[in-house]
Amino acid sequence: MSARVVLVTGGTYGIGRAASLAFAAQGDRVHTFGLSEEDTRAVMELAEQAGNKVSATTLDITDDEGVRRTVQNIIDLEGRIDVLVNNAAARPTGTMETTTAAEWDTAFNVNIRGMFITTQAVLPQMLAQKKGSIVNVSSGSGYGKPGLLAYSASKGAVFAFTNCLALDHAAQGIRANTVVPGFTKTGMTEGFPEKVMAMGGKMSVAGRVNKPEEVAQAIIWLASEQASIVSGTVIEAGTLPR
């Protein structure tokens, strides 16, 4: 199989970085962007150390024009985009009483608007190719979790967003699926107390906190030809039935 062109948002840390490196390891041409210049350099260096290559750009997912411009630059360079992984996320905490309007906007601007803008920029190229795979990363919090009102609401919206993509574009060769990571060691959780991490680990069939590399494998499979008949589905990666 010839190398595919893959774009991963929020691909310079945590699950996104693991996915970027995993795609690169199998020979795909990987492009990604993230907020931190330090993380941007780090993911490129990690890929290089493994004998692979990841092209990373420092970019805020809420910069609509920046996202559109970056996507177009990738298309101009590569001539195509085969896989889009929407992974960039923000996790404000709070209840209805404590969540501010700014925190609500942050959650939806990053977790949903960023996903919308990026997908809208990529989709015309996929339609022209008559083929493409979109994998959106949600969260177990998308089903509702205490103290995470804005984050949960925005991640819940990912399910409907993905299903609409799958239904609207199935006849045009576009697949869209959702991955729901269980309690995973990422930038969002690495500062949690050990007691909280241990409790989170009990929610996984593995009996421990998930590794980003394990969640990345679910993303890799959904984007692969082995999943060519799969669209509009949800893969729970490291969670137990509710």
Q: Enumerate the active-site residues.
A: 151
User: Encoding tokens for residue 74?
Assistant: 């990738």
AA letter at 119? T
Tell me the C-alpha to C-alpha distance, in Å, between residue 151 and each of 6, 128, 158.
26, 34, 11
Burial pattern 43-75, b for ≥16 Cβ within 10 A else e, equals bbebbeeeebebbbbebebbebebbeebbeebb
Report how far residue 14's alpha carbon sits from residue 19's, in angstroms, rounded to the nearest whole number: 9
Tell which residue, 133, 84, 88, 124, has the closest CA to residue 107. Answer: 88
User: Encoding tokens for residue 185?
Assistant: 């060691």
User: Encoding tokens for residue 141?
Assistant: 């919090």
- Could you identify the residue written with the tokens 């062109």? 5
CB atoms within 10 A of CB 134: 28
Tell me the C-alpha to C-alpha distance, in Å, between residue 115 and each of 50, 64, 121.
29, 10, 10
Report how far residue 192's alpha carbon sits from residue 171's, in angstroms, rounded to the nearest whole number: 44
